[in-house]
Structure 1
């Protein structure tokens, strides 16, 4: 019993919701730093305000993944989560640009990012659930296409509204321009519409069918997906003590050497992680079968080898892009436009141009998404991903040498290559190593290796930019480029388990 191969349009329908999700994500990425600065935030304080995004992802995605694995009703398995997340994201998009003060905008970022994560995480598992192995690269590439397309439109909305329709791009000090407000309203409408389209045009396999598909695959290949024994209570407690000790030591070092207070975020999260493991140990001690939080922690400690290898790749990749989302606006307005006053016309011209640049890299990623399956078929998924990350890293570094806004379009093409691959290739490689009944949980856990580098970036980039780079934000972009190149090198240490399956079956299938 094998999963049915889906037609192009069926894959299109199941991925279309990502078009809407990316409206919210791109509007957030391109405009939130601008909103924060308008409401009075200093450049060096922006990373800590962005901490909402990774922390909500760290908490929300594994929980949503776990419960979506356990959900099955007349509305489906993943689709109920798409819908709820889309509704709350839309509400946040309507409210954020009307924030009267900085703390309200920061709070809305927390709500918006949590809601986006509620929708986004099940979409990743949706591809693993519905598509056979040979179509998964196409499925994730289709998601990348819609992510890129949605991001292009959303990123350039303030620019288009100002330059094509005459919507005001300036406002009194402390007030968000009308062009930004209207962009958020339009984005909210399209987000909800696109997600509902996917909800009403797709179907899902039942849990029983997914188990049958997995058993058939194991019989056909002779290779079983790993299902390891639960972690014992003593193992939880031992790991909890270790991580808590590391967090405590780092906290003491920060205090003793009077290091940047933002570093307490890292030590605090380590202490919290250790505490969660200790609590899991106590729960496991009093229950014969893992449940709730202990299931998620058990799966984290028993993650497949491929996931652990991909974690390193993800770390360097997302550290770079998180730095770009935070710092592109101040880097370009400062390095290229020579403007630092967020209320000035020159600064807002630069900020709008950043929206165009973001639109370019997302547009390129959308086009490149359709080339990914073809390139992966010729040179393999790992080589494809390494190539894309290398091009992206070189493009980041080239920002330092550019002083003409138009020339900035060139490196954005290379960044688009990297982004298109980041959104699809790691997931295509990962899904082949995951058990069907834990697809959502592991997709949520995999998000740890996206948000942890973001938390690290939010904790240290303000210090690095201010005290090491002397406030010259362009050097932070160079650092991001070096990180992407390290990510490219680490790809070659990853095992793509689907390659093993294909070899065992004695035939090559298209990606």
Structure 2
């Protein structure tokens, strides 16, 4: 039985929750280093704190993927996980920037780290089933469109989430400078707004999308429903040891294309982790001229705190990080509008490789923008005075945005057609290892490299990320595409 095509708005609705999830991710990526620094973390330890994110993804996504493969209830197959994860994630987003309020019960840094881990785990519970939902619901000939719409919504959310702290400071008038051991009011309110939109957009997908009933799904995928039900019941009756053995065998039996894409993913996500961890410090140091000593907790304590002008510079740089992140997300949105057509004309591998090369060039050019002379900028919603170098950093964001759009869509478009339909969820979850593992490696070594090799000059760790992205572009050509689901 041929799977029916979906209308554009059906594809839009089933992906709409990505908008809110990505707003949450954008707020996390742009502000968690800032929050942890405000709560007392020093620069070289930031990458270790950030390990909570990939570790949660590594643990949660395969479990959720496998569980959603075996789930069918009144809400559907993937939707129950999206809804539950969104409720927890929104709650954690409200709590994280208020960690200092818990100082009477638990050190704010520890509380912030725990909430960060819970929030990221909840993001993964929500995020992973969306990938499988597109594979479930979208027929092969619309798969490029499906993942491109997903990428479009992801980046619209990223733009909104990235600029929120800047808008709340420069348009609404909230303070962007933090006091000792506390988080800036603009960041706190940005997280409140993000939590609200996250929950609302996921609810939209849950109530506007109707997943296929089991008999329809198996017919569309050419599977035997009775055999699947027997396999599910057999799985439920197995012991934990047997389930772990079965999972390990599933991993060993993964399609070879997953292993080939893993190398590309390693270089790509190694670079992205560095960007999210160290962009705020790199921009404050390289463009605003903040000395590396103001990222040393011992030095700050010795000096009796951070002077007002340094706090203001770090706050302004932190806000501008959001604008730059919004910039690369906007460029990703624009590229995602043509990415599917380019992939159909030139091939996925060519588009994927050239996009990563553009990202690598963007990172490598980061060190060029150091001009401290102030310039007046009209951003339509407000006007600001910033260093000329900060404005120039928007040019590297073009390449970063093109790479980001491709990273979000191309691996999944290449992979989806090569996965067995009855194990799409678990394999998509396993594929998340290729996202989490490079971030864990980056988290373990990036801080040491920054402190021991680059003497806490964060711009050089960003350039290292550029070299990694270029290697990712080259490794795309080692991937051999295949399709077991008759993808067009």
State TM-score, norm by structure 2: 0.87
Distance 2:473 2:155 in 1: 21
Answer yes or no: is 1:305 the counterpart of 2:256.
Answer: yes
For 2:77, the equivalent position in structure 1 comes to: 77
Q: Hey, what's the Cα distance between the residues in 2 that align with 1:500 and 1:110?
A: 36
Q: 2:273 aligns with which of 318, 322, 332?
A: 322
Which segment is superposed worse, 346-355 or 166-175?
Answer: 166-175
1:238-257 matches, cutoff 5 A: none
- Alignment map for 1:361-380 (pairs within 5 Å): 361-380=328-347
Bigger shift: 486-495 or 442-451? 486-495
TM alignment of 1:255-294, pairs within 5 A: 291-294=242-245
Shift of 1:56: 0.6
Residues 178-207 of structure 1: CA deviation (Å, up to 9, x unaligned): 100000000000000000000001111234
What is the 5 A alignment of 1:26-105?
26-100=26-100, 101-105=108-112
Q: Deviations over 1:276-317 (max 9, x none)?
A: xxxxxxxx9x97999533332221111101111111111111
Helix, strand or coil for the counterpart of 2:18?
helix
- Residue in structure 1 matched with residue 153 of structure 2 by the alignment: 146
The residue aligned with 1:261 is: none
For the structure 1 residues 500 and 195, does the alpha-carbon distance in structure 2 shift closer, same or farther, using more than 3 Å as the test? closer
Distance across 2 between alignment mates of 1:486 and 1:197: 39
Which secondary structure does the structure 1 equivalent of 2:483 belong to? helix
Partner of 1:109: 116
Specify the SS of the correspondent of 2:145: helix
Q: Deviations over 1:137-163 (max 9, x none)?
A: 111111111111111111111110111
The answer as to whether partners of 1:23 and 1:151 remain within 8 angstroms in 2 is yes
Describe the superposition over 1:73-117 as per-residue Cα deviations: whole angstroms up to 9, x where unpaired: 111000000000000000001000000111111111100000000
SS of 1:164's partner is helix
Q: Distance in 2 between matches of 1:317 and 1:67?
A: 28
One of 415, 418, 422 as aligned partner of 1:437:
422
Aligned to 1:135: 142
Say whether the 8 Å CA contact 1:94–1:185 is kept in structure 2: yes
Maintained 8 Å contact 2:417/2:484: no
Say which of 108, 117, 120 aligns to 2:127: 120
Name the residue aligned to 2:181: 174
Q: Paired residue for 1:196?
A: 203
**Partner residue, 1:402:** 369
Pairing partner for 2:353 from 378, 386, 395? 386
* Residues 255-274 of structure 1, C-alpha deviations (whole Å, 9 max, x = no match): xxxxxxxxxxxxxxxxxxxx
| 1:276 alignment counterpart | none
Counterpart CA distance in 2 for 1:141 and 1:500 is 19
Q: Is the CA contact 1:47–1:458 (under 8 Å) kept in the aligned structure 2?
A: yes
CA contact 1:22–1:151 (8 Å) conserved in 2: yes
Name the stretch that deviates more: 199-208 or 188-197: 199-208
Range that drifts further, 86-95 or 130-139: 130-139
Is residue 15–residue 149 contact of structure 2 (8 Å, CA) maintained in 1? yes
What SS does the corresponding residue of 1:184 show, helix, strand or coil?
Answer: helix
- Paired with 2:126 and 2:238, the residues of 1 have a C-alpha distance of 32
**Residue equivalent to 1:420:** 405
For 1:182 and 1:291, the matched residues in 2 are separated by 47
Q: Is the 8 A contact 1:465 1:472 kept in 2?
A: yes
For the residue of structure 2 that corresponds to 1:203, the secondary structure is coil
Match of 2:170 in 1: 163
Distance apart, 1:173 and its partner CA:
1.4
Q: In structure 1, what is the Cα distance between the partners aligned to 2:239 and 2:203? A: 41
Residue of structure 2 in register with 1:275 after alignment: none
Per-residue deviation at 1:23? 1.2
Give the alignment's TM-score, normalised by structure 1.
0.83
- Secondary structure class of the residue paired with 1:423: helix
> Is 1:353 matched up with 2:320?
yes
The answer (yes or no) to whether the contact 1:71–1:77 under 8 Å persists in 2 is yes
Q: Is the 8 A contact 1:210 1:436 kept in 2?
A: no
CA contact (8 A) 2:148 2:339 kept: yes
SS at match of 2:172: coil
Alignment partner of 1:479 out of 464, 468, 472: 464
CA distance in structure 1 between the partners assigned to 2:331 and 2:245 by the alignment: 42
Distance (whole Å) between structure 1 residues aligned to residue 37 and residue 68 of structure 2: 38
**CA shift digits 1:416-448 (9 cap, x unpaired):** 000001000100110101111111100000000
Any conservation in 1 of the 2:420–2:484 contact (CA below 8 Å)? no
Aligned-pair distance for 1:498?
3.4
In the alignment, is the contact (CA less than 8 A) between 1:214 and 1:435 conserved in 2?
no
Does the CA-based 8 Å contact 2:140-2:485 persist in structure 1? no
Q: How many residues align?
A: 438
